[in-house]
Structure 1
Amino acid sequence: MAATKEDYGAKDLAVLEGLDAVRKRPGMYIGTTDSQGLMHCLWEIIDNSVDEALAGFCTKIVVTLHTDGSITVADNGRGIPVDKEPKTGLTGVEVVLTKLHAGAKFGNASYNAVGGLHGVGSSVVNALSSRLDVEVDRNGKTYRMEFRQGHPGVYTDADPEHPSPASPFKKTRKRSPTELREVGEVSKKTTGTRIRYWADPEIFNSTAKFSYEQLIDRVRQTSFLVPGLSITVIDENIPETGDESIDDVREVDGPLAETSATPETQGAGTEDDAAGKADAVTAPAPSQEAVDRHMGRHPHARVEEFLHTGGVIDYVDFLSKGEPVCDIWHVSGEGTYQEETQVVGPGGDLHAQMVERTCGVDIALRWTNDYETTIRSFVNVVETPGGGTHVDGFLNALTRQVRRNVEANARRLKVNLRDSATKVERDDVMTGLVAVVTVRIAEPQFQGQTKDVLGTAQVKPIVTKLTDRQFGEMIAGSKRGYKEQSGRVLEKIVGEMHARIQARKTKEVTRRKNALESASMPSKLSDCQPGNDDIAELFIVEGDSALGTAKAARNSMFQALLPIRGKILNVQKASVSQMLANKECASIIQVIGAGSGATFDISQARYNKVIMMTDADVDGAHIRILLLTLFYRYMRPLIEHGHVYAAVPPLHRIALTGKRKGEVIYTYSDDELARRTAQLNRDHIGFDGDIQRYKGLGEMDADQLADTTMDPRTRMLRRIRMEDAAQASEIFSLLMGGEVPPRKQFIVDNADDFDRANIDA
């Protein structure tokens, strides 16, 4: 029988105690219960160790991935307090791992700038774990405590070396003494915390998967943001019979530091340390004895170590792709602000109090000769992918200073200040920008527990002021050594502005619908008839002589011709403004009609295929490379979506005689010619000994060019693919960039392996 309204009373109210609320509504604390939530739990535990490093008490963190799916995070920080907390009567270990919103980060006595802010990280992970074990080294002893789904107790493992959530568990009764036990002794100077947990399958759904790649990215990122902190990842999911010749399979070696760091020694290093910026450096790793004792012996485990000393400057260098326009610029400093906050009084009650906060700012930035933007932002080493007030302050100052200096150098940069359309926008400034923006503040205000966006309003004016002053000196060239670099940066940004304006104008032109639009195209374009957009082809033809033959050979219903004069500009070395000023490059962009750079819109492309039709010689190959560089740098989606092709014209024409007189055979290389003529001789088929060799497309008549190169029924095309954009970028930078020594070395190293037949392979 259903309850009535009159039956509703206090007995119907459910009271969830302790961590039961977390298990009931996990999404409130970790966002989701899929892969994202699974990784979020790991971040919470790692961030606690990182906070010890930020406070100056930790120099090493070890993350171990066990074969049973559990994870251990160990550090050499101060260790979780083991004495009793006066208010609850529980040990510090139990308070931290079972009480929400509990920890040292609320009073600001032990921590100033931290990543774990809300005091729920460790306790939430504990609640969502089928088992969690913690060991603490303090006071010359090792203490241990165990939990099942957030409840303290004692496990009885059949094999202590291989603990399991399925082992018998005796739950601690309420109001009973805590189950923190002394299990060993260590040196008086040894301190640290080790937490091993098993994510609860009852909480996380079947799609939740652990990502090793995300872990490595996060660890690498943290090592950049906390200079001097060594972080090691040990993956035991490698067979113990693994091949030790594999690079990433080696034994753990080196001593584990037995003393925790002090604020004076945190981040200290030699001159060699300051110069080193490589990932996975040879840094002191945990000792074999420590690994054996705490994590089990797995001599073939995969080990990756990260240690950086250059901070955000190293991080920007790591993130930068392509040719740099300038060196890495650094903005740093701090400011203070007033904030009203709730403070815990002596009696444990909260009251409002106005406090003075310090905001530390550390920013590194660089422009590259590309159109992609990479901005990473952090608050106390916690990434804020949604940005926030710190990023807003940085970009506002950046845009304002760039505009001011563009106006001051308008004549040199060829900017018409009277034209209201020629105004630098934020997108122009951000194109090709690589930046890392970090701030460190006490008790930051985030939007939600997942900390995606910083909301502390007082941070914005501090970041703006520092960026205004320091970046202003750099971009104005008033700071020593920055004049030439600032000139290149301003030229790039102005070039992006012109590209954006040109793209907008191109989109405003009606696509191939009236005579006005045809008149706006380059006069040398021989366009095809409208209405065939799905099959329209643009042939970029080398030279006027080939153009004449191609006009007679093409099908004007769907084939358009655009001649170019010789070798176009090498855009890998040129700036955006130089590219746009080049007549050939500008014509190609205008004819394709989809814009360029960051504003390129492939849906606006006027042709389904763009075909490079050049001579079958070295010069023709060079022209194709220059064209591909233009497409890759400014119209990359054309290549990515398979719309760029290279025509394959023949090199030789063999005219048959005798019974097969009138037939011809085309060959495309000297080797193929030798094979075909040898085959004809073996088959006793006659052919004219005066074999025609084409020096260029212009030597063919219209029928020959149509049959071999232009007619879709008989031609051969080679589609240009780009399976790995990052690798392609490196190759283009090496072969077409402005740095001559690397290209020279590449030629020297590969000269012996050169095969001319592989030019178009």
Structure 2
Amino acid sequence: MTVYNGDSMDTLQGLEPVRKRPGMYIGSTDGDGVKHCFIEIIDNAIDEAISGYCDTIHVTFEENGYISVEDNGRGIPVDMNRKSGISAAILVYTNLHSGGKFENKNYKYSGGLHGVGSSVVNALSSHLELTIKRDGKIYYVEFVDGGQLTDESYPKIIGDCGLNETGTKVRYKLDAAHFQGAILANDWEIKKEWLETYLFERAAITDKLKINLNFHNDISTYEAKNGLADLLAIPEYTEASTPIMRAPLMFCEEGTYRGQKQVWDDLNNKYKTGEDGKPVKASYTEVIEIRFAFIAQDKLSPPVPKTFMNNIRTKNHGKHYDGFCTGYAEAVRSYAASRLKVNHKILNEDIMAGCQVSLLAFAQDVEFKGQTKDQVTSQKVATVGSSLAKEFFSRWLDTHPASAKMIVDKSIRAAKQREANAKAKEEEDQAEVGSLGENLTGVLTNCSQSNLEETELFIVEGDSAGGTAKNARCKKTQAILPLRGKILNTYKSDIKKTLRNKQIRILASAIGTGLGDDFDYSKLRFGKIIPLTDADVDGAHIQLLFTAFMYKYMPELIQKGHLFIAETPLYKLEKKGAKKQVVYIKNDEEFHAKYPNGIPHGWERSRFKGLGEMNPNQLKETAMSPATRTLKQVVYDEKQAEQYIQVFDNLMGDDPSKRYEFIKHHVNFSIN
């Protein structure tokens, strides 16, 4: 039996980064961030329930802004952690990446794998209290002002309890100073409607768990009778109906994953490498559990999935859902081909049409996309899930031939509808003509979304950069428009000459608003217009040409904040070895500021000759992904209108002497 005590906790770093950049740890500081803090605390209690140590959780929302979560689990250890020299309970709430979940010794499966949640909530709270029942004693710890102990002698014993009476109560009040986004949006208070859905989901996916909610003295209890099936909207059929299935299919099995992972060197505190410098890997096996409730209907509507990983709701699904879909679809395709002799191509999305699934997977050391854990990225979950789902549905289809035929027939209808929609879209794209009559087919790579708050148009130079950008983009929100060479200097061209230029006509057609007197803001097609250029002099010149064009013929787009400049890197610094490291540098100024003494030892510097030389992942990371890029919005100030005219006259006008004087006084040629 594994001992769960103070030495079960590990620590990696302290709390200060959370208060400086809370959004990095909770996703945002709006209402979603407020909810995320609550989720982090209750998920700790649910982890105890997953492991079989807890069957009841009490949640209380007080009128004074305090929230408390109390479980009857084992109680956080209060004894000394030998590595840190402080109580384990204090360690968990004052250090990032501290907890009993890193080595899978104390929790076989856990949602809070990163040991971040408890300490992050403490860092963002004005007051937090711990009351712990353990070993026949009641312990108390109090923090204020983002994790400061009010008494260095904590944890204190404040009473006695039975030896079998254990658990943890966390009572906290978030500091409004860290959640101005939530306050401004009037989303500071968690709504009961959201709580009801969230807590019922938790009860439905956790065996034998009851959650009691006291929401400002309004009492509710959440306890599921049918587990995952309670999360489906099960249709009611008459006796005369012939549905695919009347009741959901329930599944719970374990599968074995066999893979390899790097070997950790405890002595040197790093991953082991061989004589050739390559990582040393060892084979391992892991048991992964998959549970789901599933129902298929004879409909062509999109599937309705609700997915969870280690009891965490994954809003954007991920590999566990991908694995389920693949396994189910492969079983259906195999049945269609072998039993029904169907040769029509049916895709996963056709087969999943009209389906509902509540999916729960359990695995160790799961990787998520981002700290908010909205999406699972661990491929091993997809591998096992796909195999288990395919085996289960293959057996079920064989023993239910009437239902199997209905599923295949429905999938073929969905495939034909998808093909018809694609053909209609292709015809629409082929006929797509911009506001100036330019056919954009084969030129503009459009995005599927049309909401101005989400869409972005990237203007790139040449087909090479265009090809890289197309592979790096988000197809839903990002469109790509490659232009050949530098556009016309429209600032010193009249409207007739401007409209005769094909590249300008293509550009204006893609934007959609028209030019000059024909400008119509309501026809704008993209919320962000972004010149994506090389990080050199030519790139800067293209940015200036483009800005001048918009300033002269589409000024309202600049005034309303639609023009942005993407910062692309000029250099890549790379350190090769067991732990490959890459740093991108935007320009010479940044390089000399960061490395005044030259390139660090062991690093190599290479210069990007152009965007087309970058691979899609590099371009996405440095310039296109909203999560990692740097965009500069071109801001218009009415008070400086005359200065703008002066600058454009100097840089873009007919008098070269003005450019010479501007360059002489404003450009520093000393950095190279």
Equivalent position of 2:328 in the other structure = 398
Aligned pair count reads 397
Map 1:131-530; keep pairs closer than 5 Å. Answer: 131-154=127-150, 172=151, 177-205=152-180, 206=183, 207=185, 208-209=187-188, 210-236=190-216, 301-316=217-232, 319-321=233-235, 325-326=244-245, 327-334=247-254, 335-340=256-261, 345=266, 349=269, 354=282, 355-370=284-299, 371-410=301-340, 417=343, 422-475=344-397, 477-478=398-399, 482-501=400-419
8 Å contact 2:50–2:207 — kept in the other structure?
no
> Which deviations, in whole Å up to 9, do the C-alpha atoms of 1:146-194 show, x marking residues without a partner?
101333433xxxxxxxxxxxxxxxxx4xxxx432111122112100000
Separation of aligned partners in 2, 1:305 and 1:144: 27
Separation of aligned partners in 2, 1:509 and 1:459: 40
Separation of aligned partners in 1, 2:419 and 2:115: 50
Separation of aligned partners in 1, 2:263 and 2:195: 35
> Which deviations, in whole Å up to 9, do the C-alpha atoms of 1:373-428 show, x marking residues without a partner?
201121101122222222222212222222222234547xxx6x4xxxx4222222
What is the root-mean-square deviation of aligned Cα atoms in Å?
2.7
Amino acid at match of 2:137: K
Amino acid at match of 1:45: I
8 Å contact 1:91–1:178 — kept in the other structure?
no
Separation of aligned partners in 2, 1:447 and 1:506: 35
8 Å contact 1:380–1:441 — kept in the other structure?
yes
Amino acid at match of 2:375: V
> Which deviations, in whole Å up to 9, do the C-alpha atoms of 1:586-631 show, x marking residues without a partner?
xxxxxxxxxxxxxxxxxxxxxxxxxxxxxxxxxxxxxxxxxxxxxx
Map 1:627-706; keep pairs closer than 5 Å. Answer: none
Deviation at 1:139, TM superposition (A): 1.3
Amino acid at match of 2:249: W
> Which deviations, in whole Å up to 9, do the C-alpha atoms of 1:130-154 show, x marking residues without a partner?
1001100111111111101333433
Equivalent position of 2:22 in the other structure = 26
8 Å contact 2:13–2:95 — kept in the other structure?
no
| TM-score, structure 1 as length reference | 0.49
Separation of aligned partners in 2, 1:341 and 1:148: 41
Deviation at 1:100, TM superposition (A): 1.0
Report the secondary structure of 2:102's partner residue: coil
8 Å contact 2:67–2:172 — kept in the other structure?
yes
2:119 paired residue among 104, 119, 123: 123
8 Å contact 1:227–1:311 — kept in the other structure?
yes
Separation of aligned partners in 2, 1:63 and 1:223: 13
1:68 paired residue among 64, 68, 72: 64
Tell me: CA distance 1:136–1:342, structure 2 relative to 1, closer, same or farther (3 Å).
Answer: farther
| TM-score, structure 2 as length reference | 0.55
Tell me: CA distance 1:505–1:108, structure 2 relative to 1, closer, same or farther (3 Å).
Answer: closer
Amino acid at match of 1:200: D
> Which deviations, in whole Å up to 9, do the C-alpha atoms of 1:7-64 show, x marking residues without a partner?
xxxxxxxxx9831211011111101111011100000001000000111100001111
8 Å contact 1:379–1:439 — kept in the other structure?
yes
Separation of aligned partners in 2, 1:149 and 1:17: 19
Tell me: CA distance 1:348–1:41, structure 2 relative to 1, closer, same or farther (3 Å).
Answer: farther
Amino acid at match of 1:231: I
Separation of aligned partners in 2, 1:506 and 1:407: 28
Tell me: CA distance 1:221–1:497, structure 2 relative to 1, closer, same or farther (3 Å).
Answer: same
Equivalent position of 2:535 in the other structure = none
Tell me: CA distance 1:338–1:69, structure 2 relative to 1, closer, same or farther (3 Å).
Answer: same
Map 1:42-57; keep pairs closer than 5 Å. Answer: 42-57=38-53
8 Å contact 2:13–2:96 — kept in the other structure?
no
> Which deviations, in whole Å up to 9, do the C-alpha atoms of 1:535-581 show, x marking residues without a partner?
xxxxxxxxxxxxxxxxxxxxxxxxxxxxxxxxxxxxxxxxxxxxxxx
Deviation at 1:214, TM superposition (A): 2.0
> Which deviations, in whole Å up to 9, do the C-alpha atoms of 1:249-272 show, x marking residues without a partner?
xxxxxxxxxxxxxxxxxxxxxxxx
Separation of aligned partners in 2, 1:19 and 1:503: 52
Deviation at 1:302, TM superposition (A): 1.1
8 Å contact 1:228–1:309 — kept in the other structure?
no
Separation of aligned partners in 1, 2:260 and 2:360: 20
Deviation at 1:107, TM superposition (A): 2.0
Tell me: CA distance 1:203–1:385, structure 2 relative to 1, closer, same or farther (3 Å).
Answer: same
8 Å contact 2:13–2:97 — kept in the other structure?
no
8 Å contact 2:142–2:149 — kept in the other structure?
yes
Tell me: CA distance 1:509–1:341, structure 2 relative to 1, closer, same or farther (3 Å).
Answer: closer
Deviation at 1:488, TM superposition (A): 2.9
Report the secondary structure of 2:173's partner residue: strand
Separation of aligned partners in 2, 1:188 and 1:35: 40
Tell me: CA distance 1:139–1:37, structure 2 relative to 1, closer, same or farther (3 Å).
Answer: same
Separation of aligned partners in 2, 1:66 and 1:446: 33
Amino acid at match of 2:349: D
Map 1:546-565; keep pairs closer than 5 Å. Answer: none
> Which deviations, in whole Å up to 9, do the C-alpha atoms of 1:695-721 show, x marking residues without a partner?
xxxxxxxxxxxxxxxxxxxxxxxxxxx
1:37 paired residue among 30, 33, 40: 33
Tell me: CA distance 1:339–1:198, structure 2 relative to 1, closer, same or farther (3 Å).
Answer: farther
Larger Rg: 1
> Which deviations, in whole Å up to 9, do the C-alpha atoms of 1:214-264 show, x marking residues without a partner?
22211111111112111111111xxxxxxxxxxxxxxxxxxxxxxxxxxxx
Separation of aligned partners in 1, 2:131 and 2:265: 29
Separation of aligned partners in 2, 1:83 and 1:487: 62
Separation of aligned partners in 2, 1:465 and 1:427: 18
Deviation at 1:463, TM superposition (A): 1.2
Q: Is 2:44 the partner of 1:58?
A: no
Tell me: CA distance 1:396–1:104, structure 2 relative to 1, closer, same or farther (3 Å).
Answer: same
Amino acid at match of 1:28: M
Separation of aligned partners in 1, 2:55 and 2:264: 31
Deviation at 1:349, TM superposition (A): 4.4
Separation of aligned partners in 2, 1:339 and 1:132: 42
Report the secondary structure of 1:88's partner residue: coil
Amino acid at match of 2:222: F
Deviation at 1:329, TM superposition (A): 2.1
Deviation at 1:328, TM superposition (A): 1.5
8 Å contact 1:332–1:466 — kept in the other structure?
no
Equivalent position of 1:662 in the other structure = none
